[in-house]
Structure 1
């Protein structure tokens, strides 16, 4: 499990999005990137977070910010989630768990006393040079955009 810190280079990756397109982090050099990790498509917290980014998307774009969501769900699940909630940004399918492991968000979770492995919710802000400028460990799913914008002031 990786323990990334602010100021470090963000690990590059190549994966597919909800439309089957190949996406790599390198293609966004020169732009600010919100790389947010979430546990599962179409669950209450993940939907609240995605819809908050959707509702504030035009403001983010106006500031030159790219939004990328990552979970271990597959392309088909991402496409259904994006369509159902009119998500205008890219959802990355990390089915082989390479990205969640590189960013240190894959780990043990506990629900109702049952332990299991899963994606921990975390957001990385990546600067124009590809370095991690901020890490949000305690994501407020209903106000995730406000958390991001507060750090970028």
Structure 2
């Protein structure tokens, strides 16, 4: 399945930090900001999660759900949520199947070392489940505000 603006976003089911399995279809009728990030408790990922936390109410007022996805375990996600008071669900993609489906599981390089990991990316999905916007290779600073502005201007 190819990720393409204007078509249905690939549905999936993953375990969430509320202990339940959730799917995109569970949120039909709401806008969704689905963001993929490399790892809990790292500086960039923490900043991004806290930015989503700080703007959570703004997204909620726009009938928009925030879902974060990483390959971390449910236990790590729960610690991340607790430490930073994150008011949205984090989804467990330990086998990186959803990350592969959304084409964010990439070969990365850091200090000359190559490894597979998540390329920080964000997708906006409308109330009908259609992918309407994507950001790839996201730079954290200012990104959440940009995503919020997009939702305000295009999905309200």
Shorter-chain TM band: over 0.9
TM-score, with normalisation over the residues of structure 1? 0.95
Q: Which runs of 5+ in 2 are unaligned?
A: none
1:8-87 to 2 correspondences below 5 Å? 8-87=7-86
In 2, the alpha carbon distance for the partners of 1:92 and 1:72 equals 8
- SS of residue matched to 1:124: strand
CA distance in structure 2 between the aligned counterparts of 1:76 and 1:46, rounded to whole angstroms = 17
- 8 Å contact from structure 2 (residues 119, 137) kept in 1: no
Q: Distance in 1 between matches of 2:45 and 2:2?
A: 23
d(CA) in 2 for partners of 1:50, 1:64: 19
Q: Which residue of 2 aligns with 1:107?
A: 106
CA distance in 2, matches of 1:41, 1:68: 14
Instruction: Provide the rounded CA distance (Å) in 2 between the counterparts of 1:151 and 1:58.
Output: 16
1:142 aligned partner: 141
C-alpha offsets along residues 71-101 of structure 1, whole Å, 9 cap, x if unaligned? 0101000000010000000000011211101
Distance across 2 between alignment mates of 1:16 and 1:4: 22
Secondary structure in 2 aligned to 1:59? helix
Aligned partner of residue 27 in structure 1, secondary structure: helix
For the residues of structure 1 that align with 2:104 and 2:44, how far apart are their CA atoms?
Answer: 16
Taking the aligned partners of 1:120 and 1:43, their CA distance within structure 2 comes to 14
Instruction: Could you tell me which runs of 5 or more consecutive residues in structure 1 were left unpaired when the two chains were aligned.
Output: none
CA distance in 1, matches of 2:137, 2:147: 12
> C-alpha displacement at 1:44, in angstroms?
0.4
Normalised TM-score (structure 2): 0.93
Q: Counterparts of 1:151 and 1:5 in 2: how far apart (Å)? A: 18
